[in-house]
Chain A
Amino acid sequence: MSLIDNINKAFDHRIRLGIMSILMVNDHADFKMLKEMLGATDGNLASHTKGLEKTAYIKVEKQFIGKKPNTRYSATALGKMEFKKHINALEKLIGK
């Protein structure tokens, strides 16, 4: 059952899966964009981004655009590698 080992628990949730998918194809995304794309509430999204930040799969940058605070996220090299592994594992499991 080595295949199951590659299934990463950190991505085992629809919102986290969505966050990683978006950050794989976009250099960065801000909080509002993630919220709109995933249809998540503020609190829900914040807790999932925090989770991914803790495992160092995504990077968080806080900045100001004019006077408005803006939080933007990007996938780290580690996050991208782990997510690719996760996708491969999913594909193999389906292929069986």
Chain B
Amino acid sequence: MESNKYLDDISEIKNMMSRSSRFMSLSGLSGILAGIYAIIGAFIAKLNIGNYILSSNSSEFLSKTEFNQVYRFSDLAVNLLVIALSVIIAAVVTGVILTYNKAKKSGEKMWDVSSKRLLINFVVPLIIGGLFCLILMQYGIAGLVAPTTLIFYGLACVNASKYTLGKVRYLGYTNIIIGLVATQFIGYGLYFWALGFGVFHIFYGALMYFKDEK
């Protein structure tokens, strides 16, 4: 009889320690979906780039005006930006909805001290990485943008992992490694993006989903 009460006490202590320091309602399913969006986005981007190369080659024959080239390139840049933004928005919206549902199910608040702390620790390295990418573009070092986004995203995950599910740390390490490897294969950024943001999101998302949510 008494030892039941002690067992309750211990589990209450554990529960309070993890709930007050880590946000546990992060949805694994949203990781899987984010990965799928990323791969679809990379595929559409690849088609766009292919079209651009095709049309810029054929324009050698059709018209040689510089204007045409510049116009087409800015077209491609806008398309790629729209694709990237759509992927990010879709991933964030899905993540927020699924996390909200999971939090509601487990009786945890979506917007509390632990989720705020998680968000701040995730977003700070990400913003710095984003600014650094803009600087790279400023100096025309576009080839390093893809590896840099992967590395900073990885650092953001490692930093945030202290405040949520532990597996996020390994997703971070993986993306940092992929980013570093990608620096040696400039021009293949899109493939590394698809691998880091796509395949490994699905992989770790599935690990989290099947272990914690099934």
Q: Is the CB of A90 within 8 A of B9?
A: yes
A26 to B162, CA, bound (A): 12
* Closest-CB distance, B137 to chain A (whole angstroms): 39
Q: Which of B3, B19, B20 contacts A29 (CB 8 A)?
A: B20
Is the C-beta of A91 less than 8 angstroms from some C-beta in chain B? Answer: yes
Contacts across chains A and B counted by CB atoms under 8 Å: 51
Q: Which A residues lie within 8 Å of B16 (CB)? A: 17-18, 21-22, 37-38
Q: Please give me the residue from chain B that is nearest to A11 by CB atom.
A: B9
Q: A90: nearest residue on chain B (CB-CB)?
A: B6
A5 within 8 A of B: no
A92 and chain B: residue at smallest CB distance: B6
Query: CB of A77 within 8 A of chain B?
Result: no
Q: Are B20 and A26 in contact (CB under 8 A)?
A: yes
Q: Knowing A33-B113, A36-B112 are in contact, say whether A90-B10 is a contact too (CB < 8 A).
A: yes
Q: Looking at the assembled complex, report how far the CB atom of B80 sits from the nearest CB atom of chain A, in whole angstroms.
A: 43
With A33-B113, A94-B3, A96-B3 in contact, is A87–B10 under 8 Å at CB? yes
Looking at chain A's contact residues, the main secondary structure is: helix
Interface string of A7-21 (1 = CB under 8 A from B): 000000010011011
Residues of B in contact with A, size category: 10 to 19
Q: Does B60 contact A (CB under 8 A)?
A: no
Within 8 Å of chain B (Cβ to Cβ): is A93?
A: yes
Give A87 to B13 CA distance when docked, in angstroms: 9
Most chain B C-beta atoms within 10 Å of own C-beta, residue among A14, A38, A90? A90
14 extra interface residue pairs, beta carbon distance < 8 Å, beyond A25-B17, A93-B2: A17-B12, A20-B13, A21-B12, A21-B20, A22-B17, A22-B20, A24-B17, A25-B20, A33-B20, A37-B16, A37-B112, A37-B113, A90-B10, A93-B6
Which residues of A are interface residues toward B (Cβ below 8 A)? Answer: 14, 17-18, 20-22, 24-26, 29, 33, 36-38, 87, 90-91, 93-94, 96
Which B residues form the contact surface with A (CB < 8 A)? 2-3, 6-7, 9-10, 12-14, 16-17, 19-21, 109, 112-113
A-B contact pairs, 29 of them (CB 8 A): A17-B12, A18-B16, A20-B13, A21-B12, A21-B13, A21-B14, A21-B16, A21-B17, A22-B16, A22-B17, A22-B20, A24-B17, A25-B17, A25-B20, A26-B20, A26-B21, A33-B112, A33-B113, A36-B109, A37-B19, A37-B112, A37-B113, A87-B10, A90-B6, A90-B9, A90-B10, A93-B2, A94-B3, A96-B3
